[in-house]
Amino acid sequence: MSDTIHRTMGQQSGRRSWAEPWKIKMVEPLRMTRPEDRAGALAEAGYNTFLLRSDDVYIDLLTDSGTNAMSDRQWAGMMLGDEAYAGSRNFYRLEEAIQTWYGYPFIVPTHQGRGAEHLISQAAIRKGQYVPGNMYFTTTRLHQELAGGIFVDVITDAAHDPANLSPFKGDVDIAKLENLVAEHGAASIAYVSLAGTVNMAGGQPVSMANVKALSAFCRGHGIKLFLDATRLVENAFFIQEREPGYADKPLAAIVREFCDYSDGAWMSAKKDALVNIGGWLAVRDRALFEELRNLVVVYEGLHTYGGLAGRDMEAMAIGIAESMQDDHMRARIGQVRYLAELLQDWGVPMVQPVGGHAIFLDARAFYPHLRQDQFPSQTLAAELYLDSGIRSMERGIVSAGRDPETGDHHYPKLELTRLTIPRRVYTQAHMDVVAESVKAVYDARAAARGLKMVYEPRYLRFFQARFEPLS
């Protein structure tokens, strides 16, 4: 039990609670849903929470991507949008923010993270090259594969075990990378792709010691190291909390040191950076930058807007600075932990330790009677929606997709349902409602019967696949 945030402390003397470092200025009404409406809406959505209308959702924990509440400063910044086609002043503000906080000299804006993934994959991967990474992410791996790359998972084994309590389950197992290089040669590696707080592993962080060792290994072999900085500030929070020598360092300094070990980064700004849309790609190498800056005009937009409005770049520049504030991050991750503690008290199985952006329920442990190809995580997401109108996301066999060579399902060890917490959006009372619904679904777990997939799109199938209940 955390000494800072347990709810029963209200009865104890000497209580010192934390609270969010903001207050609410505007509210967005939610629609309360009825059970009979939810059953119809879910059937119409093919039992896929991505296909629900948001009007049919009560508490939306599908994702923390683009669902952030912006600050009054960010909204004020939106009014300063310079919508010139070329050379918008907001681009220069964004460029300066990325140079200041992340430390890379050359910046390319993109409409969101996958736009940046597309560009870096096209520019830096040759057909048949390997792209080692600390677990796959759906869009990242697909862009690597579409560029002719072969993704290789080099994350530590602990990441695949929901019960393993290691503090840095996002670390690369450098021995796995050494083996890959020994077998195929350094020239066969396009680059190493390292994500902060590994999403598919449950938001698990990478240690500073690991990125340092990885950087030394890569430099020794002439291999580039690129970061997925989408949730790197959240990663820095765990370094500050868990890694010796970092307790007194501000998050901003930790982020900067982490980036110093890399050759470049991309980011979906829709997460850490507290905006609703946006992304970027940044590198140290001028020649690579010239290539990326040329590609961006083909796929995204001119190199000073990359598919974004000027006002979006302004909001992003302000959001980056806000994301680095220690008080903000303490409250953000504190809320995730608050929900986790409620659920843990009831014995609900989840990935441990709890990560930065979400609770990842362990659907295998929830539904041991379902086979993985009966889609336990998808089933759990459907049951939660039926119970209370809470929307969550499948992160298991459906998300893992198929092997491009064999066409078989990937069978990931982790079969998870993600309750993702948007930043600065919901209150503690919402978290109570969520916890109680998860408990109700857990209590009824023996009755769950699983799903069959009746429609499967070719790419990123989890977004649009349709299911029917197994009878």
Binding site for ligand PLI (CB under 6 A): 63, 65, 112-114, 137, 139-140, 195, 199, 228, 230, 268, 270, 279
3-state DSSP assignment of residue 76: helix
Q: Is 237 a catalytic residue?
A: no
* Encoded tokens for 153: 């998972």
Nearer to ligand PLI, 233 or 370 (CB): 233
Closer residue to ligand PLI (CB): 64 or 374: 64
Q: How far is the CB of 418 from ligand PLI (least distance, A)?
A: 8
- Give the residue ranges of DSSP H helices in 155-306: 174-184, 208-221, 232-242, 251-260, 286-299
User: How many alpha carbons lie under 13 Å from residue 150 in its C-beta half-sphere?
Assistant: 9
User: Active-site residue among 171, 228, 263, 312?
Assistant: 228
Q: Which is nearer to ligand PLI, 99 or 276 (CB)?
A: 276
Nearest CA to 404 out of 137, 190, 142, 154 is that of: 142
- Measured in degrees and rounded to the nearest 5, phi and psi for residue 389 equal 80, 15
171 is known as an active-site residue: no
CA-CA distance, 409 to 411, in Å (whole number)? 6
DSSP element (H, E) containing 152: strand 150-153
What is the rounded distance in angstroms from the CA atom of residue 288 to the CA atom of residue 191?
Answer: 13
441: left (phi over 0), alpha (psi -120 to 50) or beta: alpha
Catalytic residue at 364? no
CB 229 within 8 A of CB 102: yes
The closest residue (CB) to ligand PLI is 113
Three-class secondary structure of residue 249 per DSSP = coil
As measured in angstroms, the least distance from the Cβ of 7 to ligand PLI is 28
Nearer to ligand PLI, 214 or 370 (CB): 214
Shortest spacing between CB 426 and ligand PLI, in angstroms: 16
Shortest Å distance, C-beta 469 to ligand PLI:
25
- Name the β-bridge partners of 225: 192
| Annotated catalytic residue within 137, 238, 258, 360 | 137
Asked if 305 is an active-site residue, the reply is no
Distance CA 294, CA 312 (A): 22
Min dist. Cβ of residue 230 to ligand PLI (A): 4
Three-state SS string over 404-447 comes to CCCCCECCCCCCEEEEECCCCCCCHHHHHHHHHHHHHHHHCHHH
Catalytic residue among 130, 226, 238, 462: 462
231, 293, 332, 395: the active-site residue = 395
Angle at 426 between CA 315 and CA 390, to 5 degrees: 115
Omega before residue 353 within 30° of 0, cis: yes
Residue 138 falls in the annotated catalytic set: yes
Burial class (CB within 10 angstroms; exposed 0-12, middle 13-18, buried 19+) of 183? exposed
Please, which residue, 268 or 388, has the CB nearer to ligand PLI? 268
Min dist CB 244 to ligand PLI, Å, is: 27
Q: Toward ligand PLI, which CB reaches closer, 129 or 140?
A: 140
Q: Which of 85, 411, 455, 459 is catalytic?
A: 85
Judged by beta carbon, residue 270 or residue 328, the one nearer ligand PLI is 270
Q: Is 228 one of the catalytic residues?
A: yes
Shortest approach of ligand PLI to residue 391 CB, angstroms?
A: 12
Instruction: Provide the annotated active-site residues.
Output: 85, 137-138, 228, 271, 395, 462
